[in-house]
Amino acid sequence: MAKQEIIDPKLVHGDPTKDFFITMLIKDITLRDAIGDLVDNSVDAIKAKVSNPDKLKGHTINIKVDGQQFSISDNGSGIEEQVARDYAFKLGKPQQHKLIEHSIGRFGIGMKRAFFKLGETISIKSKAPTSSFAITIPVSTWKKDETNWDFKFDTVKTKEKNNSSTTGTTIVISDLSDDAKENFKKAQFENELKQEIANEQILNISKGLVIKINGDTIKPPVLTLKLEKELIPAYWKHTFEHKDGKLQVEIYAGVSDQVENEGGWNIFCNDRLILSRDTSYTTGWTGQDGDGVANYHQQFWGFRGYVFFNSKKSSSLPWNTTKTGIDPDSSDYLAVRKKMIEMMKNVFLLLNRQKKEREKDNPLKSQTLNNRILKASAVSIIKVLSEKKKTEVEFQFPQVLNAVKETDLKVIRYKVPIVKFNKVKKHIRGSNPADVGSKTFDHYYENEIGN
């Protein structure tokens, strides 16, 4: 029967086209972010299954990428058929949907966005405690019908009793997008992917989760803080009480080894690393004139800061939708940022003293403070976090200093003919003019004045 057109003279069309919708959805995410989103979903599924979310041993996420296909599988809780039917594949989470507590899948778009970003044919198989299903999404044919937004199961079984050791989800994506096809072949992409996922999931990996990419178990970097009797990292915590739930924040700030690309702030939201070794305006490195501290440079290579946001409701966390950064307008974060700046200022008291002690050619063996810090042992942040007794404490460091005093040294400047200089330099085996100068002076002192 032909559909009767009812023309409402006041009607203005506002419905989206699928193509526009997809383009907007994937515009600002990278391939790696898309894969990261799928990993987050797997982590949520695994945490939903275990009794203690801090013990993830025995759980694996397996990722395979090549120029033809992408796949990810996990042995998490799986997706129940009812959840798949009503929520999981809807574009955006309906308001009444109860989110998984402490989840990192926040907006109900991560998985779908990842699908659209990666390829055109997506097949998902999932086994949950009481149901299982398989579904295939053919994006190109789905896109053509502008009126129907639904998908169809290939197979579906309900009222099952599946052993918890058999549950899990597998996603296979083929007909890869041009970008995916090209990048997935590259060794560099694979290596960067490993590094990024290892970074993002560092806390979950430390809790026993195994993530494999093309067969290799990825290893996260070791994040540390130096800790000893008189070198105590600052610790501060706070709970924001909002109408719709609590947001907890914990901060550690201190020092570790002086390595250029290891200094800065690391910010986690529900165990997921959002900002890694950040030294930008966002974390208070504003440069001389801003409201924060100086720009990051060698003097501050030793700084380490760790911020952990935790909330039962992932929507309370101050991150952006792509989980690649902090939401700069979050009022909670802005207050925390000011606190981070104050905590940095205290750590800088030590870093400034260390710099002062290195100045004026002070030999390393005389640098009492620097040696103390150098010898202090670096402890993994995972270990620091697991401490049962946590009390707020300000940054403390050894009150020693052995800097060269202004009055201890005198600078001598004079000019000599270059020919004579070269002869002396060779004779005394000096490496540079300063060295030649001090050696000749020492020679005179020894012979004419004596020790």
Q: Is 11 helix (H, G, I), strand (E, B) or coil?
A: coil
List the one residue from 55, 242, 297, 338 that touches other proteins (CB under 8 A).
338
Stretch that binds other proteins, among 1-9, 272-280, 314-322, 339-347 (CB under 8 A): 339-347
Q: Is the Cβ–Cβ distance between 77 and 167 less than 8 Å?
A: yes
Q: Does 200 bind other proteins (CB under 8 A)?
A: no
Q: Of 24, 335, 416, 434, which lies in the binding site for other proteins, with binding defined by CB under 8 A?
A: 335
Which strand ranges, in their side-by-side order, compose the sheet holding 303-310?
Answer: 234-242, 245-255, 303-310, 264-269, 272-278
Binding to other proteins by residue 242, rule CB under 8 A?
no
Q: How far is it, in rounded angstroms, from Cα 42 to Cα 216?
A: 18
To other proteins, the closest distance from the beta carbon of 39 in angstroms equals: 32
The interface with other proteins within residues 275-294 (CB under 8 A) comprises 288-292
For every residue of 60-121, DSSP letters joined together read: EEEEEE-SS-EEEEE-S----HHHIIIIITSSS--TTPPPPTT-S--SS-HHHHHHHHHEEE
Using rule CB under 8 A, residue 346 touches other proteins: yes
CB of 341 to other proteins, least distance (A): 7
Distance from CA of residue 435 to its chain's centroid? Answer: 46
Other C-beta atoms closer than 10 Å to the C-beta of 181 total 17
The minimum distance between CB 106 and other proteins, in angstroms, equals: 22
**Span near other proteins by CB under 8 A; candidates 111-119, 234-242, 301-309, 364-372:** 234-242
Interaction of residue 345 with other proteins, rule CB under 8 A: yes
CA distance 373 to 362: 16
CA 91 to chain centre: 26
If one asks whether residue 91 binds other proteins (CB under 8 A), the answer comes out as no
By CB under 8 A, residue 120 contacts other proteins: no
Least Å from the CB of residue 239 to other proteins:
8
Of the candidate residues 34, 72, 317, 336, the single one contacting other proteins (CB under 8 A): 336
By DSSP bridging, strand 210-213 and strand 60-65 are parallel
Residue 331: burial class (beta carbons within 10 Å; 0-12, 13-18, 19+): exposed
Verify binding: residue 328, other proteins, rule CB under 8 A. Answer: no
Question: Residue 354 has which token pair?
Answer: 């260390």
If binding is defined by CB under 8 A, does position 402 make contact with other proteins?
A: no
310 is a site residue for other proteins (CB under 8 A) = no
Which residue, 115 or 236, has its beta carbon nearer to other proteins?
A: 236
Q: Which stretch binds other proteins (CB under 8 A): 139-147, 204-212, 214-222, 232-240?
A: 232-240
Give, for 342, the enclosing helix (H) or strand (E).
helix 331-358
Q: Cβ 368 to other proteins, closest distance in Å?
A: 19
| Residue 232 makes contact with other proteins by CB under 8 A | no
- Residues in contact with other proteins by CB under 8 A are 238-240, 288-292, 331-332, 334-336, 338-339, 341-342, 345-346, 348-349, 352
